[in-house]
Amino acid sequence: MQNIEKNLSAINHQIESAALEFKRKPGDIALLAVSKRKPTEDIRNAYACGQRDFGENYLQEALDKVDELSDLDIVWHFIGAVQSNKTKQLAQSFDWVHCIDRLKIAKRLSDQRPQSMPPLNLCIQVNVEQEASKAGIRLDEVDQLAEQIADLPGIRLRGLMAIPAPQDDFESQRKPFSQLRQALERLNHKGLDCDTLSMGMTHDMPAAIAEGATLVRIGTAIFGERL
Ligand SMILES: *Cc1c(COP(=O)(O)O)cnc(C)c1O
């Protein structure tokens, strides 16, 4: 508990100081606590410190946690790969899905979103550097997919997400984040009204904030190394 509390406070301070350094409002940057492979007790502890947004990668683990923690007012984000035969559980249990890279998945989520719930928030995953090992669409495919997704009734397209390859120096880290920001600006020029750049993890958070991240996804720096 003590560690999580300390870690959360340190991360929130880092967000604040990076925001000030790069002339951004700290309140425009939300912290998503990535709790994959960590016990629900850790989530309860972070929640007790005021953290509300949590991200999970593995569907069955995530669904078990949503169920076990249903007494808490958590905003749940799914940040893992989405299989098209598992969209119904996502549409019923989550507030956000970050890794959309196909129209078919977005359509299924829209159709399966219960009408009693607000639209499901989606981000399109972009493979900025076109790494063979990674999911996500190319930068030059963003406009078309975004336009196709934006009109679906059960979802709300919020923006773009990326997981660039780890780099050690700040300027190299900034580059793909800058490209993602420009892609989002283009969507907004076209009138799509997107407000989210989901980018930045434990090792590259300040560079993501420098380039306009609105949602940083942090696991290790809050909950410690994953086994
Ligand atoms: C695991 C994960 C994170 C968190 O990574 P850390 O390096 O532990 O901060 C963020 N985003 C995605 C998509 C992840 O899978």
Domains of the chain by start residue, with CATH: 2-223 (3.20.20.10)
Report the separation in Å between the CA atom of 217 and the middle of ligand 1, taken as the mean of its atom positions. 6
State the pLDDT at residue 1.
Answer: 60
pLDDT, mean of residues 148-167: 97
Share of the chain above pLDDT 90, in %: 99
pLDDT, mean of residues 28-32: 98
State the pLDDT at residue 2.
Answer: 73
Mutating to test ligand 1, I would choose from 15, 97, 217, 227 the residue with most ligand atoms within 8 A of its C-beta, which is 217
pLDDT, mean of residues 188-209: 98
Which residue minimizes the CA distance to atom 4 of ligand 1?
219
Give DSSP secondary structure letters for 78-109: E-SPPPGGGHHHHHHH-SEEEEE--HHHHHHH
Determine the straight-line distance between the first and last CA of the chain, rounded to whole angstroms. Answer: 18
State the pLDDT at residue 227.
Answer: 81
pLDDT, mean of residues 132-145: 97
Tens of pLDDT, residues 82-107: 999 999 999 999 999 999 999 999 99
Residue 108 has pLDDT above 70, yes or no: yes
Mutating to test ligand 1, I would choose from 4, 34, 123 the residue with most ligand atoms within 8 A of its C-beta, which is 34
State the pLDDT at residue 199.
Answer: 98
DSSP SS3 for 51: coil
- Is this prediction's pTM over 0.85? yes
Strands 96-100 and 53-56: what pairing? unpaired
Average pLDDT for the chain? 97
Gap between the Cα atoms of 206 and 209, Å rounded = 5
